[in-house]
Amino acid sequence: MKKKYYTCLILEILLVVSIIMLLLKYNELKIDFIDGDGIGIYFLGFEINDRVSSGEISVYRNIFFNTSIMFSIIAFINGFLLINIKRKYKALNNKE
């Protein structure tokens, strides 16, 4: 039972870190001035696209934002499950 709890806890921490990273990238892509034809998009050191025109930057920005919303929903559900696992674990320990 403890293993399942710690797995959910680690997943929750990773999801929160991912949400923060995605929202930071979203803020980074809210630029008004672009020098040249476009920009390169990188996330966590990986190149996503080398040549993104200025018109397509909003598409990538929205993708990062939508992904962070999906991770937020998953983190919320995982946190709810984590609380339920902890309650069941305490209830089992109290019975013994």
pLDDT tens figures, 9-46: 788 888 888 888 888 888 877 776 666 677 778 887 88
pLDDT digits (tens, 9 = 90+) for 56-93: 888 888 888 888 888 888 888 888 887 787 777 777 67
| Host domain of residue 88 | 2-95
Q: Taking the C-alpha atoms of 9, 27, 61 and 38 in order, what is their torsion angle to the nearest 10 degrees?
A: -140
Domain count across the chain: 1
User: CA-CA distance, 84 to 80, in Å (whole number)?
Assistant: 6
